[in-house]
């Protein structure tokens, strides 16, 4: 048998050689860590469906942000559970709510940390939907000024990036206009442009108490079967002024991530969502998988597909493991 003169196994022979020719390399700077803030002080309660993730009062959220920054993780995304809910979600722009207070406190304690504010209404409305209702339907256009209030409140508190996750039509233009009118032209918009109506969100809805009280969100989030629609959403949001485009979830949509990366020249983010995280944790707890290898492989696949930014609950573990590998 005659071999080709090029033997690919030569470049896989040792760990040092494999490292030299590695095409995709994870860095701590790739990650954004999501945090959940709640009312009260000295609160740290583990979320049952998300092991090692916690509901934190503002004081403990600040301590976590300081630890993350020391580890080299440059950014947090702040989600919150409010003290009150109503039909329009007015606590979402209340400057005394946990999210606004946490953004202010983290900005003061860790000035160089990148802070992302999640802009949506589902955690704040009494009905659990992402906007103002007209009967049993979300009224798209009446929701836009409410989302604008949320974005401005978070940016005024010190958020570098606001990330609308509601999937209302026209929201990027509405938020950009509101931010600019308030003198917040430098606030970045990271759009959840490609957000699918996914079953992978289950644990998050437990964590954020945001499950809809009737129906579901398939009337505004995307059909998991659709790719061309994703490109349409991306184009619309870019035309309206989105600075960063996000695909959510990540693992089951890496084909979409790759298509988005090929389609645009702006940064691409992915959200490695709660269900993806919980499945790994559950399998690892049963001894069925090697958690370290699985997590690093998954995160590498997201970056390889084209993600510049990875929002993930695995960030702290991943950085620890990456440093261990580098120290060998």
Would you say 205 and 211 are in contact if contact means Cβ atoms under 8 Å apart? Answer: yes
Residue 254's contacts (CB-CB under 8 Å, 6 or more residues apart) are 301, 302, 305
* Six-digit token string for 200: 């992978």
Catalytic residue among 248, 320, 323, 328: 248
- Residue 162 to residue 155: CA distance in whole angstroms: 7
Active site residue 104: no
Question: For residues 203 and 281, what is the distance between their CA atoms, to the nearest angstrom?
Answer: 12
Tell me which residue has tokens 């970056």. 303
The two structure tokens encoding residue 191: 């759009």
Beta partners for residue 35, in sequence order = 78
At 13, list the tokens: 């022979």
The residue annotated as part of the active site, out of 85, 104, 195, 281, is 195
- Of 215, 214, 171, 219, the residue nearest 192 (C-alpha): 171
Can you spell out the DSSP letters for 245-302? EEEES-GGGHHHHHHHHHH-SS-EEEEE-HHHHHHHHHHHHTTSS-HHHHHHHHHHHH
CA distance 119 to 179: 13
Q: Are 53 and 46 in contact (CB under 8 A)?
A: yes
Contact 128, 122 (CB under 8 A): yes
44 is catalytic: no
Per DSSP, 222 falls in state B
Q: Which stretch of DSSP H or E encloses residue 34?
A: strand 31-37
Cβ-based neighbour number of residue 74 at 10 Å: 18
Residue with tokens 């485009």: 245
Give me the helix-helix angle, 315-327 and 291-305, nearest 10°.
Answer: 100
Active centre residues (catalytic) = 195, 248
């Amino acid at each position: 048998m005659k071999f080709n003169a090029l033997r690919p196994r030569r470049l896989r022979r040792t760990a040092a050689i494999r490292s030299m020719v590695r095409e995709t390399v994870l860095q701590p700077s790739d990650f954004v860590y999501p945090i959940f803030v709640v009312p009260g002080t000295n609160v740290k309660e583990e979320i049952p469906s998300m092991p090692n993730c916690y509901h934190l009062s503002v004081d403990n959220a600040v301590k976590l942000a300081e630890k993350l920054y020391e580890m080299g993780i440059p950014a947090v995304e702040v989600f919150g559970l409010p003290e009150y809910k109503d039909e329009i979600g007015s606590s979402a722009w209340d400057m005394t709510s946990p999210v606004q207070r946490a953004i202010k406190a983290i900005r003061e304690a860790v000035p160089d940390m990148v802070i992302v504010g999640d802009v949506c209404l589902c955690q704040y409305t009494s009905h659990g939907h992402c906007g103002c209702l007209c009967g049993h339907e979300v009224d798209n256009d009446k929701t836009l000024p409410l989302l604008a209030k949320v974005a401005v409140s978070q940016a005024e508190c010190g958020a570098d990036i606001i990330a609308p996750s509601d999937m209302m039509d026209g929201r990027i233009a509405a938020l950009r206009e509101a931010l600019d009118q308030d003198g917040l032209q430098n606030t970045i918009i990271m759009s959840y442009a490609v957000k699918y109506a996914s079953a992978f969100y289950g644990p998050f809805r437990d964590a954020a108490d945001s499950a809809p009280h009737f129906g579901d969100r398939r009337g505004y989030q995307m059909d998991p079967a659709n790719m061309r629609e994703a490109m349409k959403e991306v184009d619309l949001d870019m035309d309206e002024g989105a600075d960063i485009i996000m695909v959510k979830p990540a693992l089951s949509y890496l084909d979409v991530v790759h298509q988005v990366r090929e389609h645009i020249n702006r940064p691409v983010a992915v959200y490695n969502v709660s269900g993806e995280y919980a499945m790994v944790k559950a399998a690892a707890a049963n001894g069925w998988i090697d958690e370290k290898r699985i997590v690093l492989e998954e995160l590498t696949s997201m970056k390889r597909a084209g993600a510049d930014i990875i929002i993930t609950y695995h960030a702290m573990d991943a950085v620890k493991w990456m440093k261990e590998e580098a120290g060998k």
